[in-house]
């Protein structure tokens, strides 16, 4: 309560001292230079690596240096002389300090803290106009790009009103009614009449509204360079990069996040009034839940390639605010010190370069579903074969037995959140790759946020999630469209 009061006091003081506008409504810094005057950001590009603990940012950068001799684009920004902001963000939601992606994205999408699981939908069924709709009504271009289903929580948090993120058929229907310009990701199951519960053919609906609809990488590159575009490239999420990198067939049909980002930017850049684009590296979160170190690292690197596309796009222009962040920590992985003087760690970590498959693939090979039920009579030899193939790593008989027992849910673990077979496999593999996770769920960590372009200088070093919404509508001068 005292926190709330002092915040209100601050806001009152702010509005008295500084007049109307941004600083009156939020905790953002006042404009300190001509370059950050409201309205200066014609375009907004918002990049989210979903569920990226700070350890994930470091692991991807360590791997990129080791394997490719380059720092990640994200860390390169920090090493550069460009004018950028860097700080921490408090991602708490209305009902928890640990955010889920729906409420987290909604905090940026509508400027309100709502309950976990909801999309721009308050606890009393209030519907808050999401930022993509605000930009659309202001005559700006709108785009969402993700490696998850396009109906998943993070893109939806910028674009959709729904009581539950799980209503993905309804979310797809709402997309078809909202006239956003570019939607690229996975999720055929929610557009295809053979897969939807109501058998509606949403592709036909989109086409009748003037969208080009594409489902392959080639069709994406051959689509007309202007006009509305729906690109759905998989039944569910796009593949993990570890699986993608080892599968020529997937590479032939599936665009990367960077390719989708480039395509979206080319299109949106033709809007005279500017645009908003959200880009999500969504499977970083899934890899963290799964405790899949190789997938985590390579999906974060793929996200970082999209960061590179965006940083190139804004190079030399001063009309685009870029925000680079994550919605919450997840499972907080890290490379631990191993061996005498910790000297074994770098070598162990390097072994991730040889991984051939994700843990999702391991589950499929074992015939195990993400949420169970437990398997019966698992063969330890089979476990060994599958895990050793995926990780290119020899494990011991004892370790294979532990994994077998975890598939059978017949294993004692001290922390229940690590009872998933994936957590047990990753614990075994940590003996060989050095990367360990604290659990299988999101965490309350304050998250990394970086920004560049007009308005980035207004972000405090420690910022509340909802203030980023205020920043975006103010810098793009679209507040007039923020109510229906």
Q: Token pair of 231, please?
A: 């690109």
Is the Cβ of residue 144 or residue 471 nearer to Zn ion in the bound state? 144
- Return the range that interacts with Zn ion (CB under 5 A); candidates 3-11, 16-24, 70-78, 285-293: 285-293
Handedness of CA 60, 330, 299, 315 (dihedral sign): negative
Q: Token pair of 84, please?
A: 């950028």
Is the Cβ of residue 287 or residue 324 nearer to Zn ion in the bound state? 287
- Helices H / strands E in the chain, number of each: 21, 14
Interacting residues with Zn ion between 339 and 378 (CB under 5 A) = none
For residue 398, the surrounding DSSP H or E stretch is helix 397-407
18 alpha-carbon distance from chain centroid: 35
Is the Cβ of residue 48 or residue 424 nearer to Zn ion in the bound state? 48
Interacting residues with Zn ion between 66 and 95 (CB under 5 A) = none
| Cβ proximity of 134 and 481 under 8 Å | yes
**Min dist. Cβ of residue 328 to Zn ion (A):** 7
Is residue 285 a contact residue for Zn ion (CB under 5 A)? yes
- Return the range that interacts with Zn ion (CB under 5 A); candidates 11-19, 31-39, 279-287, 473-481: 279-287
**Min dist. Cβ of residue 50 to Zn ion (A):** 7
| Cβ proximity of 113 and 92 under 8 Å | yes
Report d(CA 211, CA 85) in Å as an integer: 37
Site string for Zn ion, 40-69 (x = CB under 5 A): -----------x------------------
> Which 3 state secondary structure label does DSSP give 31?
coil
Is the Cβ of residue 285 or residue 470 nearer to Zn ion in the bound state? 285
What is each CA distance from 163 to 98, 106, 120, 148, in whole angstroms? 19, 12, 8, 20
Is the Cβ of residue 51 or residue 109 nearer to Zn ion in the bound state? 51
- Return the range that interacts with Zn ion (CB under 5 A); candidates 73-81, 131-139, 269-277, 283-291: 283-291
Report d(CA 273, CA 266) in Å as an integer: 14
Is the Cβ of residue 288 or residue 294 nearer to Zn ion in the bound state? 288
Is residue 457 a contact residue for Zn ion (CB under 5 A)? no
| Cβ proximity of 328 and 104 under 8 Å | yes
**Min dist. Cβ of residue 125 to Zn ion (A):** 25
Instruction: Enter the DSSP assignment of 121.
Output: B
- 164 given a catalytic annotation: no
- Return the range that interacts with Zn ion (CB under 5 A); candidates 7-15, 131-139, 280-288, 411-419: 280-288
Is residue 474 a contact residue for Zn ion (CB under 5 A)? no
| Cβ proximity of 362 and 386 under 8 Å | yes
Q: How many CB atoms are located within 10 Å of the residue 225 CB?
A: 10
**Min dist. Cβ of residue 285 to Zn ion (A):** 4
| Cβ proximity of 448 and 76 under 8 Å | no
The catalytic position among 26, 36, 53, 101 is 101
Report d(CA 229, CA 207) in Å as an integer: 9
Is residue 327 a contact residue for Zn ion (CB under 5 A)? no
Is residue 299 a contact residue for Zn ion (CB under 5 A)? no
Report d(CA 257, CA 277) in Å as an integer: 13
**Min dist. Cβ of residue 441 to Zn ion (A):** 8
Q: Token pair of 307, please?
A: 């960061």
**Min dist. Cβ of residue 403 to Zn ion (A):** 23
Q: How many residues in the shown chain lie near Zn ion by CB under 5 A?
A: 2
Is the Cβ of residue 36 or residue 440 nearer to Zn ion in the bound state? 440
Active site residues: 101
Summarize as ranges the residues that interact with Zn ion (CB under 5 A). 51, 285
């Amino acid at each position: 309560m005292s926190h709330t009061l002092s915040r209100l006091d601050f806001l009152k003081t702010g509005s008295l001292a500084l007049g109307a506008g941004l600083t009156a409504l939020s905790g953002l810094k006042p404009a300190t230079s001509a370059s950050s005057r409201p309205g200066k950001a014609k375009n907004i590009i918002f990049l989210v690596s979903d569920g990226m603990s700070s350890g994930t940012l470091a692991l991807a950068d360590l791997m990129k240096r080791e394997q490719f001799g380059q720092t990640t684009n994200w860390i390169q920004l920090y090493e550069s002389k460009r004018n950028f902001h860097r700080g921490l963000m408090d991602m708490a939601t209305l009902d928890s300090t640990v955010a889920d992606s729906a409420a987290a994205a909604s905090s940026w999408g509508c400027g309100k803290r709502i309950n976990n699981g909801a999309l721009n939908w308050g606890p009393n069924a209030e519907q808050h106009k999401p930022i993509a709709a605000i930009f659309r009504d202001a005559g700006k271009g709108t785009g969402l790009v993700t490696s998850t289903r396009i109906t998943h929580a993070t893109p939806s948090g910028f674009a959709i009103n729904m009581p539950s993120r799980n209503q993905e058929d309804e979310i797809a229907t709402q997309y078809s009614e909202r006239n956003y310009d570019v939607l690229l990701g996975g999720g055929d199951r929610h557009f295809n009449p053979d897969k939807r519960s109501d058998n509606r053919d949403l592709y036909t609906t989109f086409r009748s509204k003037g969208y080009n609809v594409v489902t392959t990488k080639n069709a994406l590159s051959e689509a007309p360079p202007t006009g509305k575009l729906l690109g759905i490239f998989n039944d569910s999420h796009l593949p993990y990069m570890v699986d993608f990198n080892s599968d020529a067939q997937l590479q032939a049909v599936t665009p990367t996040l960077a390719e989708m980002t480039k395509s979206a930017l080319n299109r949106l850049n033709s809007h005279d009034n500017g645009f908003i684009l959200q880009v999500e590296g969504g499977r970083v979160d899934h890899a963290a839940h799964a405790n899949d170190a190789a997938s985590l690292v390579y999906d974060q690197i793929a996200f970082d390639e999209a960061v590179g596309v965006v940083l190139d796009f804004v190079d030399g222009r001063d009309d685009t605010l870029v925000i680079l962040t994550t919605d919450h920590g997840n499972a907080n992985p890290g490379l631990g010190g191993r061996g005498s003087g910790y000297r074994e760690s770098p070598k162990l970590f390097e072994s991730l370069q040889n991984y051939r498959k994700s843990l999702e693939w391991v589950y499929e090979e074992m015939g195990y579903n993400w949420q169970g039920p437990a398997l019966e009579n698992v063969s330890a030899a089979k476990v060994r074969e599958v895990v050793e193939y995926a990780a290119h790593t020899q494990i011991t008989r004892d370790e294979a037995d532990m994994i077998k027992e975890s598939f059978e849910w017949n294993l004692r673990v001290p922390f229940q959140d690590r009872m998933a077979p994936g957590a047990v496999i990753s614990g075994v593999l940590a003996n060989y790759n050095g990367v360990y996770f604290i659990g299988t769920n999101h965490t309350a960590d304050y998250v990394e946020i970086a920004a560049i372009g007009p308005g980035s200088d207004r972000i405090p070093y420690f910022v509340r999630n909802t203030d980023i919404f205020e920043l975006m509508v103010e810098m793009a001068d679209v507040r007039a469209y923020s109510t229906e």
